[in-house]
Structure 1
Amino acid sequence: MGTRKYSSYEQIDRELEILKIEKEISLQKVRLEFQGIKENLEPKNIVRGIVGSYVPSFPGKYGQIISIALPFITKWLFKKRGF
């Protein structure tokens, strides 16, 4: 961004307001990304990711049964462990 010339204080104020809004949008994006990372690093989501990647390798009804039972099993395990 090069040097800009302004002909009035209104232009300067408008530019500052735009920059302020852009800064707030960037901060909100960072917060949202951080929240997503934080959720992905929760133990239950890590287990779901690991086990969920193996479920498609089970043929037919076994894969369906595992994919249905998996949320209940992980919830039970994490309650028992205190996560």
Structure 2
Amino acid sequence: MDKKYSSYDQINADLEMLKLEKEIHLQHILLNIDKTKESLQPENLFQEALASLKLKLSNSYGMILQIAIPYLINWLINKKRGD
């Protein structure tokens, strides 16, 4: 879609808007680069790995308990019987 301008002020206003949008996008890219560099630091990688492991274990915690509790109950019953 072609835009029709009736004055140089309109052209200059659009050029200024485009310049500001370009600067915003550039700053956004630079911020993302900084965040990426920070996340790739060894201590941050280690913390992310621990957080991921903790999340996986917490998600499987219920399943582990469902499997382990019946075995624990049977073990306690058999221990009381002296088996």
TM range (shorter): 0.5 to 0.7
How far off its partner does 1:4 sit?
A: 1.2
Name the count of aligned residue pairs: 58
Larger radius of gyration: 2
In 2, the alpha carbon distance for the partners of 1:55 and 1:8 equals 62
Task: Give runs of ≥4 in structure 1 deviating > 6 Å.
Answer: none
1:18 and 2:30 correspond: no
- Which residue in the other structure is 1:34 paired with? 33
| Structure 2: gaps (5+ residues) | 62-83
How far off its partner does 1:5 sit?
A: 1.0
Deviations 1:23-47 (A, max 9, x none): 0000000001111111110000001
Q: TM-score, normalised by structure 2?
A: 0.62
Secondary structure of the 1:7 match is: coil
How far off its partner does 1:54 sit?
A: 2.5
Identical amino acids, percent of aligned pairs = 41
Q: TM-score, normalised by structure 1?
A: 0.62
Task: Provide the aligned C-alpha RMSD in A.
Answer: 1.6
How far off its partner does 1:55 sit?
A: 3.4
| Structure 1: gaps (5+ residues) | 60-83
Which amino acid in 2 is paired with 1:27? Answer: L
